[in-house]
Amino acid sequence: MTDELNATIYYEDDADANYLSGKTVAVLGYGSQGHAHAQNLADSGVDVVVGLREDSSSRAAAKEDGLEVATAKEAAAKADVVSVLVPDTVQPAVYEEIKDELEAGNTLQFAHGFNIHYNQIKPKDGIDVTMVAPKSPGHLVRRNYEAGEGTPGLVAVYQDETGEAKERALAYAQAIGCARAGVVETSFREETETDLFGEQAVLCGGVTSLVKTGYETLVDAGYSPEMAYFECLNELKLIVDLMYEGGLGEMWDSVSDTAEYGGLTRGDVVVDDHARERMEEVLEQVQNGEFARQWIVENQAGRPSYTQLREAEGNHEIEQVGEELRALFAWAEEKETEEDKESP
Ligand code: NAD
Ligand code: MG
Ligand code: MG
Ligand code: MG
Ligand code: MG
């Protein structure tokens, strides 16, 4: 256990598998997180039953992976720990389906805090409510586990009826491989609010807007769409890879001094105090529940504006240019591999 960076981080030695031994875990959902948690738990020797709708297309996949499959209600009835890994918008309805099967001392477990934090699920008394959230898409959670490596994750306790909620959550984090890499202690509130802010302001919303605005600025000034695509979208991966490996410093070290000086002098001109104020507004809407209300109402209405926004995003010129250029890459890459094979 270390807490040099304020947050407490747990590792393998802090987790005790005994807290899960003899217990059955129901994994509800077999998507990105669900398939990874279910298979990692099973490979760690935990009894797993996957809960899916009768008509779910994921049933075949879970069975093929050697797992027992039941309905969510049946799975919850068998389980001591119920891991809720269906989409966030579906979770409140699934909770209604299973809540009668949750017995005193059981654990209701999440990988994201949205529904608990914004009161869309009001968990009954007598059960533990915890979170183990890998900080990575499910396919990496599975791939890293199989490679004997870990995926960093978060752990949080919302309701501790047994007095063992954290120990049990850490045992779960260990069984899916997160404790190998480190599990950061947080709260449902902190996880939910930072996750929403990050994806809105930086990771998903901020980055796509930066890319589109940069692309449009170049094309509007008369440069070719192909050049604008390469410069503002394609090269982003190379920059992000460097940041991922070694932080901002490794990126600055790797680009030319001209790029470094230009970036250091112009970056804050683009993302300026105005952008910071907008970020603060976005954070406030996350904190005061306005974003959550909007998203819940949007779903209740059948997602009208979400559907429109998705369509508009798909029709952006950068998407057409990108499709054509990526097709050229694929051709070039195939050709290269063929040539490689031919040469001795
Ligand atoms: P997903 O969309 O990949 O998969 C959800 C699965 O739930 C589907 O594959 C299906 O098996 C089932 N399902 C879908 N609709 C259903 C319905 N109407 N009723 C019952 N079952 C249904 O979901 P995900 O991305 O794995 O997200 C699961 C949880 O994990 C969420 O709380 C999410 O916030 C969290 N999370 C996701 C990631 C990620 O990278 N994907 C990372 C961390 C946490
Ligand atoms: Mg996130
Ligand atoms: Mg998220
Ligand atoms: Mg360049
Ligand atoms: Mg340099």
Closest residue by Cα to residue 76 from 95, 54, 56, 58:
95
Give me the residues paired with residue 185 across strands: 155
The helix/strand/coil state of 166 is: helix
Distance 322 CA to ligand 1 centre (A): 28
Give the number of the ligand closest to the Cα of residue 93: 1
**Long-range contacts at 310-315 (CB < 8 A, ≥ 24 apart):** 313/208
Q: Which residues form the catalytic set?
A: 112
If you take atom 2 of ligand 1, which residue's CA is the nearest one? 87
Model confidence pTM above 0.90: yes
Tokens 């994201």, located at residue: 112
Residue 179: predicted pLDDT: 97
Ligand 4 geometric centre to CA of 258 (Å) = 10
pLDDT at 309: 98
- The whole-number pLDDT of residue 343 equals 38
For ligand 1, pick from 27, 30, 33 the residue to mutate: most ligand atoms within 8 Å of CB. 33
Report the 3 state secondary structure along 177-234: CHHHHCEEECCHHHHHHHHHHHHHHHHCHHHHHHHHHHHHHHHHCCCCHHHHHHHHHH
pLDDT at 338: 45
Ion ligand 2: residues, Cβ under 5 Å = 195
Compute the distance from residue 330 Cα to the ligand 4 centre, in Å.
22
On whether the CB atoms of residues 31 and 87 are closer than 8 A, the answer is: yes
Dihedral sign of CA atoms 54, 57, 58, 62 in order: positive
**DSSP designation for 149:** -
Say how far apart CA 271 and CA 275 lie, in whole Å: 5
Q: How many CB atoms lie within 10 A of CB 265?
A: 9
Return all residues near 192 (Cβ < 8 A) that are at least 6 apart: 112, 113, 114, 117, 118
d(CA 284, CA 44): 41
Taken in order of first residue, the domains within the chain and their CATH numbers are: 9-186 (3.40.50.720), 196-342 (1.10.1040.10)
Query: Residue-wise over 281-293: b if at least 16 C-beta within 10 A, else e?
Result: ebbebbeeeebbe
Q: What is the pLDDT of residue 254?
A: 98
pLDDT value of residue 2:
57
Q: How far is the CA of 259 from the centre of ligand 5 (A)?
A: 7
Give the ligand with the smallest distance to the CA of 153: 1
Ligand nearest to the CA of 151: 1
Q: Detail the residues annotated as belonging to a binding site for Mg(2+).
A: 195, 199, 231, 235
Spell out the per-residue pLDDT of the chain, length 344, in tens.
Answer: 655 568 999 999 999 999 999 999 999 999 999 999 999 999 999 999 999 999 999 999 999 999 999 999 999 999 999 999 999 999 999 999 999 999 999 999 999 999 999 999 999 999 999 999 999 999 999 999 999 999 999 999 999 999 999 999 999 999 999 999 999 999 999 999 999 999 999 999 999 999 999 999 999 999 999 999 999 999 999 999 999 999 999 999 999 999 999 999 999 999 999 999 999 999 999 999 999 999 999 999 999 999 999 999 999 999 999 999 999 877 656 555 444 443 34
What are residue 112's phi and psi, to 5 degrees? -160, 145
Environment of ion ligand 3 (residues, CB < 5 A): 195
CA dihedral for 236, 241, 247, 253, sign (positive or negative): negative
Q: DSSP H helical segments within the chain, as ranges? A: 32-43, 58-64, 72-78, 91-98, 114-117, 138-146, 165-175, 178-181, 188-197, 205-220, 225-229, 236-254, 257-270, 273-287, 290-300, 304-314, 317-342
Determine contact, residues 236/215, Cβ cutoff 8 Å: no
Residues, CB-to-ion distance under 5 Å, ligand 5: 257, 260
